[in-house]
Structure 1
Amino acid sequence: MKYTVEHTYTPDFVLPNGIIVEAKDGEGGYAHVGKSSYYRGSLDSAARGKMLRIKKLYPNLDIRFVFRTDQTLHSLGKKCSTWCKEHGFKYHIGDSIPDSWLKEEPKDTEGLLLKKRKEK
């Protein structure tokens, strides 16, 4: 018997052009946006499964990863970059989101619910 469990996904970052960025790392990840650093967990088995399900449900979304270092995923014995290539995710190894990603044309964000900023 098949059943579905509904979950809510909150991206680490959504760039102004609609690119979704997950800042992950084998040891725990972060990325710099402006002068701030954000810690964002690991690319463990649960996170990999979640990202594959999201990609399957919303193939129009442009989801990318930033890794501080190209760690080996211990449960798979392969690097984060290899996993991304195998599953069609763009990625960057480094401390920040590449400027080139910020300069890209707007992406399709259908299915992505963006929270509006609270006015002060």
Structure 2
Amino acid sequence: MAFRSGLEERIADLLVELGVKYEYESTKVPYVIQHNYTPDFILPNGVWLEAKGYWDSKDRKKIKSVIQQNPDIDLRMVFQAPFNTISKKSKTTYAQWCDKLGIKWTSFATIPIDWLL
């Protein structure tokens, strides 16, 4: 059996020597690391606006997690350029990414007035 470190191997050897049966890395346990999200704008009507110029993978994952774990929040994206692609290797735009996840979005130039009032 291949272990990840010399210490793990020594522990396994000790367990064998003592006749202790064991399983090695046989179980996966999901966990979530707690983070805090600070929205850019919270409006009196309950709408949260998140403004983005460049939107990297880390920030997309954060927004996705916030929305999935807080479904009552009305978070909407305001992009400087919603038709930029999420990476150089992707054809998916910021707008398409939001559409796929059901996130409302707009460009700064065309923010619907009913979002703000």
Moved over 4 A (4+): none
TM-score of the aligned structures, taking structure 2 as reference length: 0.66
For 2:43 and 2:113, locate their aligned partners in 1 and report how far apart those are by CA, in whole Å. Answer: 11
Bigger Rg, which one: 2
Determine what percentage of the aligned residue pairs are the same residue.
38
**Contact 1:14–1:21 (CA<8 Å) still a contact in 2?**
yes
**Number of equivalences:** 87
Structure 1 stretches lacking a partner, 5+ long: 30-41, 104-120
Q: Give 5+ residue unaligned stretches, structure 2.
A: 1-28
Residue 10 in 1 paired to residue 23 in 2? no
1:98 alignment counterpart = 112
* Number of the residue aligned with 2:58: 46
Once residues 60 and 99 of structure 1 are traced to their aligned partners in structure 2, the CA distance between those partners, rounded to angstroms, is: 22
1:24-39 matches, cutoff 5 A: 24=52, 29=53
Aligned CA RMSD, in angstroms, stands at: 1.6
Structure with more of its chain in helix, by fraction: 2
More strand by share: 1
CA-to-aligned-CA distance 1:6-52 (integer Å, 9 cap, x gap): 1111001111111111111xxxx2xxxxxxxxxxxx32111111111
Question: 1:76-104 CA distances to partner (integer Å, 9 max, x unpaired)?
Answer: 3211111111000111123474322122x
